[in-house]
Amino acid sequence: MRPVAAVAAASALMAALLTSSLSAAASTDDEGGSAWSDPTVVVVPYLSDTTVAVNAAWSLTACPELDTQGIVELACTDEGDIILTATRYSASVSPWPLLLEVLDSTGAARTVPLTVTLGPPDPPELATSLPGIVGLAGGRTLIPVSAFVTSCTLCTTGLTLEVTTVVDTSAPATPVPPRAWVSQHHVVIDAPAEATSVTLSVRAADDTGTLGPPAEVTLPVRRTSSPTTALHLLRAPDASGSLTLDAAEFVLPDGDDWRIDRCGRAVEGAVACTESTFTYRPQATTASTDTPSGTALADQVWVRLRSSTNDVVTASVTVVEGATGLAAAAPLLPHIVPVATAKAAPPTDSQPASDPGVLAAFWGLLPPLTAVPGPSDDTPPTPHEEASP
């Protein structure tokens, strides 16, 4: 066999093995297993780094260049690996080409084309319970959207929340099913009078617009002994950023018969409650991220109240510049709710380690290329290389 033909045969064998592996992986994914990824696409994790390890049989001839306007930084190690670090994130940027100039095990020069792209942040983390919040059976409950979100990595303009299902989890179930939807700032629940609890399945999307996995939240609902309306206030803070409300302002009618029983937490402010007074004060921001110029994110707090007859209702206040009146309850199409969310923990610093790559197992199945004379200069073989995050 001619040297060129021998190398071509080895390359063809590697391609066949790769194709077979990818087909098997695709089949596994169809059956519910883990999906395979394109080995020529390097995904850099959100504000973190990844290592592109060149196969041990090959070597870089020079540290490659990558023009991403500083979004991704590239560095090469003494061991010949490439470290890619994402310094910021934008969902609108396009993938970037990365060309690796390498010498294969025969000493032949090859160009390996890769594609670098940014990995998205983790989706918003949703609450699995709403401790302290009690809904109204036989009436309407509004719960601040922010109460459903534990943290968000990339919610610069708020987030999108979607109620996918609402189920009556009372025992026994009531003949009339509950309803739930998302309004301008709240999740709205209509529960029948006989209900004792409802379970909602919700999903949330951050700035990327991609909905994360659903989370189920069960809410206890209780009847009151008299017609009562818990109010959901929209209020602007004063010049100092503070806001003070009396307990009576949260309930109609007969607000004087109610006292504040418990308050939720704010995201961007500090809350203090007594039986008669709700106080909100500004503090150092802990919002999900710096908001774009001109974007005002609302801070939301739920307030639980108790009457002299031991009835319990949940009201709320949404604190935002220029706000006044009561929160709307009308359902809206999926939209970005401009509320502040707690900041997710930053990614931990990673220490890039040597990575043999996805194709490492294939090299052991190939004929030893070092025993094959190099190809002629005018017929270079087709390279097969991979990037392993």
Residues 96 and 135 in one domain: no
Interval 100-141: pLDDT, tens: 999 988 899 999 999 999 999 999 999 999 999 999 999 999
Strands 135-136 and 215-222 turn out to be parallel
Residue (of 233, 236, 381) closest to 315 by Cα position:
233
Residues 174 and 116 in one domain: no
In a domain, 145, yes or no: yes
Q: Cα 140 from chain centroid?
A: 30
Cα separation of 379 and 101, whole Å? 17
Interval 7-23: pLDDT, tens: 333 333 233 223 323 33
Interval 305-322: pLDDT, tens: 999 999 999 999 999 999
Q: Of 16-20, 179-183, 229-233, give the lowest mean pLDDT range.
A: 16-20
Model confidence at 347, in pLDDT bands (50, 70, 90)? low
Answer whether 137's CB lies under 8 Å from 192's CB. Answer: yes
Interval 263-321: pLDDT, tens: 999 999 999 999 999 999 998 554 444 555 445 799 999 999 999 999 999 999 999 99
Q: Quick one: average pLDDT of 86-110? A: 91
Residue (of 14, 4, 2) closest to 358 by Cα position:
14
CA angle 177, 181, 187 (to 5 degrees): 110
Residues 143 and 222 in one domain: yes
Provide CB contacts within 8 A for 181, sequence distance 6+: 163, 187, 188, 331
Report helix, strand and coil shares of the chain as percent, to nearest 5.
Answer: 10, 35, 50
Model confidence at 193, in pLDDT bands (50, 70, 90)? very high
In a domain, 138, yes or no: yes
Structure tokens at 238: 């004063």
| Number of domains comprising the chain | 2
Structure tokens at 177: 């099913």
Q: Cβ–Cβ contacts within 10 Å for residue 139, how many?
A: 19
Residues 234 and 360 in one domain: no
Residue 33 has pLDDT above 70, yes or no: no
In a domain, 223, yes or no: yes
The mean predicted confidence, pLDDT, of the chain is 80
Torsion angles phi and psi, residue 280, rounded to 5: -120, 130
Report pLDDT for 291.
53
In a domain, 192, yes or no: yes
Residues 286 and 367 in one domain: no
Residues 256 and 325 in one domain: yes
Model confidence at 25, in pLDDT bands (50, 70, 90)? very low
Buried b (16+ CB within 10 A) or exposed e, 189-207: bbbbebbbbbebbbbbbbb
Cα separation of 11 and 106, whole Å? 12
Residues 159 and 271 in one domain: yes
Report pLDDT for 296.
74
> In the chain, which ranges are continuous DSSP H helix?
3-30, 360-363
**Residue 216 domain boundaries:** 125-337
Q: What are the counts of helices (DSSP H) followed by strands (DSSP E) for the chain?
A: 2, 26
In a domain, 104, yes or no: yes
In a domain, 384, yes or no: no
In a domain, 380, yes or no: no
Highest mean pLDDT among 39-43, 185-189, 331-335: 185-189
Answer whether 249's CB lies under 8 Å from 233's CB. Answer: yes
Answer whether 53's CB lies under 8 Å from 354's CB. Answer: yes
Residues 229 and 306 in one domain: yes
The pTM is what? 0.76
Residues 104 and 223 in one domain: no
Model confidence at 253, in pLDDT bands (50, 70, 90)? confident
Cα separation of 39 and 49, whole Å? 17
In a domain, 154, yes or no: yes
Answer whether 315's CB lies under 8 Å from 302's CB. Answer: yes
Answer whether 278's CB lies under 8 Å from 247's CB. Answer: yes
Residues 92 and 180 in one domain: no
Residues 131 and 278 in one domain: yes
Residues 116 and 45 in one domain: yes
